[in-house]
Amino acid sequence: MVATENLVKRNEEKVSPSKQNISGLENSRGLIKWMRNANVGEVSEVFEFGNNYVVATLTKINLEGDIPLEDVKVEIESKVRKKQKGKMIVDEINSITYKKLSELATAMSSEVKLATKANFLSSQIEGFFSLEPKLVGLICASKNDVIIKPLIGDNAVFVSKVISRNEPRTSGDFSQQKIQITNELKQNASTSAYNAIKENSAIVDNRNDFY
């Protein structure tokens, strides 16, 4: 029917009971509530979300507890392939003799990118689109003007060098920083207290059945 009627078929995986909307469908909480009481293979009534009319079917129910291997097999295989590819690239880099990053980049048919800012408090380096927490940590812990050994990051293999760094300020007015840290500590304390009470209570949260 999808093909003959020129309809759009979409999949939404890992829908939690507390999720408010299906991606791309405004005010679609009603569909999520329907999923909670549906059986595998059941087809829904027609839902209207904005300009979209949706008919859904429930293909799987994920139970609490350990995730079956079959459900994460593709994800595991992808991570293993990425890791092995990273090791192969590191081996190739280690087989090359170079004294400058530009020489290595030429040999690897790559390019040298200049990152203007790396902060230990952030997992992202300015100038890069992806999060690379391991690279940030390595750069912050490395000395200036020393080419760092290859690092297998989350999205690429990096060979880096710290050109310069801003020395920490030890004098002056730190009142704004103190206020910021105090507010963060208050927020963390409030959140931690709430989670501690929640974990040690016998309350069952059934709000998802009503909202």
Query: Judging by beta carbons within 10 Å of its beta carbon (0-12, 13-18, 19+), is residue 195 exposed, middle or buried?
Result: exposed
Please write the tens of the pLDDT for every residue from 130-148.
Answer: 788 899 899 888 999 999 9
> What residue numbers bound the domain in which 147 lies?
69-158
| 205 part of a folded domain | no
* Domain limit, last residue, from 113, 143, 158: 158
Q: Report if residue 27 sits inside a domain.
A: yes
Please compute Rg for the chain using Cα positions. Answer: 25
Euclidean distance between the first and the last CA atom of the chain, given in angstroms as a whole number:
33
Domain count, the chain: 2
- 199 domain residue, yes or no: no
Q: Are 25 and 12 in contact (CB under 8 A)?
A: no
pLDDT tens sequence across 14-53:
888 888 888 888 889 999 999 988 999 999 999 998 888 9
* Tokens 């293979």 sit on residue: 41
Provide the pLDDT for residue 144: 92
Would residue 1 count as lying in a domain?
yes
Q: How far apart, in whole angstroms, are the C-alpha atoms of residue 54 and residue 126?
A: 41
Q: Give the H/E segment covering residue 151.
A: strand 151-152
Structure tokens at 78: 């992808």
Select the more confidently predicted residue: 151 or 205: 151
Taking a C-beta distance cutoff of 8 angstroms, is the pair 30, 10 a contact? no
More confident residue, 127 or 187: 187
Considering the domain boundaries, does residue 204 fall inside one? no
Tokens of 189: 């304390």
